A = this chain, B = another copy of it.
Amino acid sequence: MVERSVPRVAIVGAGFGGLWTAKALAGKPVEVTLIDKNNYHTFFPLLYQVAAAEVDPGDIVHPVRKILREIKNVRFALAEIQAVDFETRVLDAGDLKIPYDYLVLATGSTVSYFGVPGAEQYTFPLRTMEQAINLRNHILCRFETASFEQDPEVRRRMLTFVIVGGGPTGVEFAGALEELIRGPLVKDFPNLDFSEVSVVLIEGLDRLLTYLPENLSEFTLKRLQKMGVDVRLQTMVNEVFPDGVRLQNGEVISTDTVVWSAGAKGAAVDGWGLPTNRVGQIEVTETLQVNGLPGVYVVGDLASCKIDGEALPMLAPVATQQAETAAENILRQVRGEAPEQFRYTDLGAMTVIGRNAAVANLFGRWTFTGFVAWVMWLGVHLFRLIGFRNRLMVLTNWAWDYLFFERVVRLILP
């Protein structure tokens, strides 16, 4: 049997997990193929800003080939992996077959509806660029239609926006939407009565942003209420209709727009035939390998990874840290060494509520609120945005917005 001199690594997914794995393998003695169904990397933490017409889609995505350009041992394939043959080690993307020696699965997560009737058919998820653009178009169209609607009850339904889920996406979107409405849209629609407009944020637990300390949840609640958001805690959605939602207490809210940010599950593909947990994640060993498949790694939202018995959250820093470990472990295996255990460093978390206000928790130790946290959030996110040009563009948009209270990109684009 002849061994290939240069081992082949295939990485499925160009999100934080996949892309950071590829970067960590740059210049190493492996041949890497990075596969994604889009030709760009989406900066997921700012996706809600596209939906709130705050930044252009092009501002928060970056072409994968541009990122990889200087890296000689990584090539890119625009493809969707339908199946994996773990025996012969070949990825199946229709016409294209990609053989590998080591495989990293990093397809991230997708929306989960928890079996709530009507949720899948009648709500707007906010997890991909396409969904963000779709939601933005829908919201702007509600205002256009309402501006010519005579029936006040119909108008109120068109102008009620319900967001289900008080996690980071729900909170950030509620704040951004409220600012879009009370700022530029008030000026754009002089004939509308804006007392008919309402933003409702629904959360099942007794506080928002449960991954943060309680004082930050309290600050967030107060701030959103001050901005005009109708926050309902300990409230469950029982059913979604085309024209409203029914809550567990029997109350029905009439609305054309329900944004679903309540849940996520691992985006494992059925065709892979790997066992998943109840939230669609693939179980990994503490070295991030799949049990029984020592050449297969899983990183990011897709991995069910427990540290001291506690499941890690679906967050970008988890994915990028796992990517480093997976890359390192592959190189160890190539050298004939044993893979090492994944260790997670909690850097903290931050969430923006609106203009000049955010909450931040650093290293699980220090908490910040308000303007200071907002400036920290701005700095960290601009720093993390890939590509200098993107940073420049987003900063220009934000500065404009900040100076003129103006959403610059509220276009209903195809």
Contacts and interface: CB of A to CB of B under 8 A. Distances in A.
A144 B63 contact: no
A413 B129 contact: yes
15 contacts: A39-B140, A57-B411, A63-B188, A63-B411, A65-B188, A65-B189, A78-B144, A78-B412, A96-B148, A130-B414, A133-B413, A389-B408, A392-B396, A393-B393, A396-B396
Contact of A63 (B38, B75, B410): B410
Copy tally for this chain in the complex stands at: 2
A40 interface: yes
Interface of A: 38-40, 56-59, 61, 63, 65-66, 69, 75, 77-78, 96, 129-130, 133, 140-141, 144-145, 147-148, 184, 187-189, 191, 389, 392-393, 396, 400, 408-414
Contact of A409 (B58, B144, B408, B412): B58
Contacts of A187: 69
A396 B399 CA distance: 15
Nearest to A189: B65
Contact of A58 (B58, B61, B191, B414): B58
A110 to B, nearest CB: 16
A69 B188 contact: yes
Given A63-B411, A65-B188, 14 more contacts: A56-B56, A56-B58, A57-B58, A58-B58, A61-B413, A63-B188, A63-B410, A66-B410, A77-B147, A389-B400, A389-B408, A392-B396, A393-B396, A396-B396
A16 B83 CA distance: 51
A148 B392 CA distance: 34
Nearest to A57: B413
A115 B406 CA distance: 47
A191 B75 contact: yes
A304 B39 CA distance: 44
Nearest to A131: B414
A144 B39 contact: yes
A61 B411 contact: yes
Of A65, A69, A147, which is in contact with the most chain B CB atoms at under 10 Å from its CB? A65
A412 B189 contact: no
A143 B81 CA distance: 19
Contacts of A184: 66
Contact of A39 (B38, B69, B96, B412): B412
A187 B63 CA distance: 12
Nearest to A97: B148
A148 B400 contact: no
In order of increasing CB-CB distance, the 8 nearest A-B pairs are: A130-B414, A65-B188, A78-B144, A56-B58, A39-B412, A40-B411, A58-B409, A56-B56
A164 B272 CA distance: 45
A182 to B, nearest CB: 16
A147 to B, nearest CB: 8
Contacts of A389: 400, 408
Contacts of A133: 413-414
A392 B408 CA distance: 12
A96 B144 CA distance: 12
Contacts of A78: 141, 144-145, 412
